[in-house]
Structure 1
Amino acid sequence: MNRNLWLLTLLQGLFFTNNVTFIAINGLVGLSLAPYGWMATLPVMGYVVGGALFTGPVAWTQSRLGRKNSFVLGLVVAVASALLCAYAAYTRQFWLLCAATLLAGYYSANGQLYRFASAELVAPAYREKAVSFVMAGGLIGAVAGPNLATRTQALAGVPFAGTYLALAAVAVLAMGVLAVMRFPAPPARAAASGGRPLGEIARQPVFIVAAGAAALGYGVMNLLMAATPLAMAQCGFAFSDAAFVLEWHVIGMFAPGFFTGHLIKRYGVLNVMGVGVLLNLACIALALSGVALANFTVALFLLGVGWNFLFTGATTLSLSAYTAAERDRAQGAMNFLMFAVMAVSSFSSGVLVTTQGWDWLNLGSLPPVLLVGAGLLWLLARQRRAAA
């Protein structure tokens, strides 16, 4: 542990305060402003589409400006986009809200690199634990996000306009944290090309499984999480109940971060990711068994823990697929694929939950979960053959 790792963990927590709050309110604000109900989650989709579109520019700024300056730029965009969201909510402009969340995707594309930066702050033998510990910083978002949304939803006289203003203040606080941090010097570029071409990196089985598990695991989690406030509203629950469920979901996402790295060290990354697949399946089974508050709470908690095992494992697994000089293009490609899948899941969640219902939404999440499990078994078989 070192000072910069602690500060990066705090920065991760503030980033996920923004993420969790966006997930909690964007669908509801969208539902109140959208011309049609099935468009409700377009603002959620805009956030992840923006993340996908900005992965390239963010990778460029990371390479040219370094970690710290690129992260500062992301927070500047976070402040501007949150203020624009507040204005859109206040003036009841649905398409302006979608545009503002699209712009906010730049901050998301930056923040998703915090976990990779953590591995650069410690010795190689401690990378798994560093990634896991920084991921645990999301616990701040688990508590702060839903409570921030609940306490500020009526602050400005328009539902959730005050919440967006509060998120701008959270980004300013993150700037203060970042100001006192130090990052290692960027790695030297290997010759003119900076390492292998992206196509060669991406064809490695270990990269295919890592990127696929991160993208599909995040996509399924986003599919169910984004739809939960809408599904609970359809079932007659108050927003405070949905905030409570999301709080426990995000606790499940990040509380394991204190020990996931130890589990990976002891049992192997593929085994831990396999447990993540099983927890996703348990979440779906429980969600299909009923729509009581306990069903929503426990199912979303299991979904969070399963996501943590898959996502932390995928991030750790990917570290063996590229060199330091190749990090920006490899990490950018992983995040682009993740955001692309999340964009599809964000849009699908609104369409499915408002037209087909909660049960069909959960059934639709089964194929990607099973595909991740098949990928893990494939890579495990290859590794055993190679060892033999």
Structure 2
Amino acid sequence: MPITVWGLAIAQALLASGNILLVSVSALIGQHLAADPLFITLPVACQFLGLILSTLPAAHLMQTLGRKTGFVLGNVIGLLGTWVALQGLAATSLAGFTLGTFLIGIAIGVGQQYRFAALEACDSSLHPRAISLVMAGGVLAAVLGPNLAVWSRDWYAANPYGGAFYGLSGLYVVALLLILLLPLPRARPVSQAERVRSYGELCRQPLLLAAVASGMIGYGIMVLLMTATPLAMDHHRHDFSDTALVIQWHVLGMFVPSFFTGHLIRRFTTRRVILWGCAALLLSVAINLSGQGFWHYWWGLLWLGIGWNFTFIGATHLLTFSYQPAEKAKVQGMNDFLVFGAAALGSLFSGQGVALLGWAWLNLLAIPWILLVLVLIWRLKAGEPVAA
């Protein structure tokens, strides 16, 4: 595997560590700063808003200026976001803190291109393994992210969770230095002779619709339940250390399967792996509905992570069969815009869902969406190019 893919895997690990750190503390900080319970998860929602607003511009920017320029810019914006969030905490301002998470969301949106950059750095026969390797970098995030949230509680006197943003700024500095050293592929300008299909033409492909739906619903359901978990566990009087442990194992479930997901795709096809992911998501919901003890949350979030891994990596690989090289930025940007738009809706509704509906109904609402993905993937013809 090329050195660039390994470097992008480390960059993805740093990005995911920051994401999990934010998930561990942002809703709790929102609970401290918000006067109205409906705004508890506003910082998390604005983080995803920044993410989805950056996806299309980031894809086109990188096609024009190259991956390195785009990734450097993203990490610089992330550093600025951590500083703004700290200023908001110092002023006990929900608006200021939310602006900081919005900027961090932009940086996260740019970083979502790591997996696509890995595809450009290797031969097509290695694509499933490259995607899996980059996503496997999140195993480090499972250890570093939640623990950094715990270790940093004494780093910032004004707020026990503010120290997490000092740790986050350190992650962005390391990622910035790494990107500067990596030999990333140069920009590939689109030739005037190459035809780029319209969004309408592209979206009439059952393959693309299935890929986007798998990414959207898999990610949206995962974020909905993961973001709600700290609030639900706090409501049921679980310690913060227990919550951090549940989130840590959830992230392990998200990323450890990446070491063999690529092999499973090559052996059993992308279609079957996504179907397994839907089954894992349904199992997670069933466990969550069976009780509110520590082990219910632990097992439920673990299977939620595994389901996300199979649906998201499968969707990323499936997407690569739906566009020509000249359409790369258009399709990748559209896909990420929709996928992380669904994640933003999940994060925005999670706080309200726990407050208004309760943990059980929040899980029940996820079932029809998971079944929709299952049907769309199941209906793909056996002859579709869904294997490496």
Question: What band does the TM-score fall into relative to the shorter chain?
Answer: over 0.9
Aligned Cα root-mean-square deviation (Å)? 1.4
Aligned-partner Cα distance in 1 for 2:217–2:194: 30
Aligned AA (2:134): V
Tell me if the contact between 2:146 and 2:247 (Cα under 8 Å) persists in the aligned partners: yes
CA distances 1:54-96 after superposition (whole Å, capped 9, x unpaired): 2222123212211111000000000000111111112210011
CA distances 1:37-56 after superposition (whole Å, capped 9, x unpaired): 12111111011111111222
Distance 1:368 1:382, change over 3 A: farther
Between 1:278-287 and 1:348-357, the stretch displaced more is: 348-357
Aligned-partner Cα distance in 1 for 2:281–2:255: 15
Map 1:222-371 → 2, pairs under 5 A: 222-371=223-372
Q: How high is the TM-score relative to the length of structure 1?
A: 0.96
Partner of 1:152: 152
Q: How high is the TM-score relative to the length of structure 2?
A: 0.96
Aligned-partner Cα distance in 2 for 1:4–1:200: 34
Aligned-partner Cα distance in 1 for 2:381–2:352: 36
Aligned-partner Cα distance in 2 for 1:58–1:193: 21
The alignment of Structure 1 onto Structure 2 pairs a total of residues equal to 384
Shift of 1:381: 6.6
Runs of 4 or more, structure 1, over 4 Å off, are 381-384
Gap regions ≥5 residues in structure 1: none
Aligned AA (2:146): P
Between 1:99-108 and 1:130-139, the stretch displaced more is: 99-108
Aligned-partner Cα distance in 2 for 1:307–1:380: 23
SS of residue matched to 1:135: helix
Partner of 1:86: 86
Tell me if the contact between 1:189 and 1:195 (Cα under 8 Å) persists in the aligned partners: no
Aligned-partner Cα distance in 1 for 2:51–2:108: 6
Partner of 2:117: 117
Aligned-partner Cα distance in 1 for 2:97–2:310: 33
Partner of 2:106: 106
Aligned-partner Cα distance in 2 for 1:124–1:179: 25
Gap regions ≥5 residues in structure 2: none
Shift of 1:165: 1.5
Tell me if the contact between 2:14 and 2:175 (Cα under 8 Å) persists in the aligned partners: yes
Aligned-partner Cα distance in 2 for 1:309–1:58: 25
Matched-pair identity in % = 37
SS of residue matched to 2:72: helix
Partner of 2:199: 198
Aligned-partner Cα distance in 2 for 1:175–1:26: 23
Aligned-partner Cα distance in 2 for 1:380–1:29: 47
Aligned AA (2:167): A
CA distances 1:182-212 after superposition (whole Å, capped 9, x unpaired): 1222334131776222332222111111011
Aligned-partner Cα distance in 2 for 1:375–1:244: 35
Aligned AA (2:190): R
CA distances 1:289-336 after superposition (whole Å, capped 9, x unpaired): 001111101110001011000000000000011122211111000000
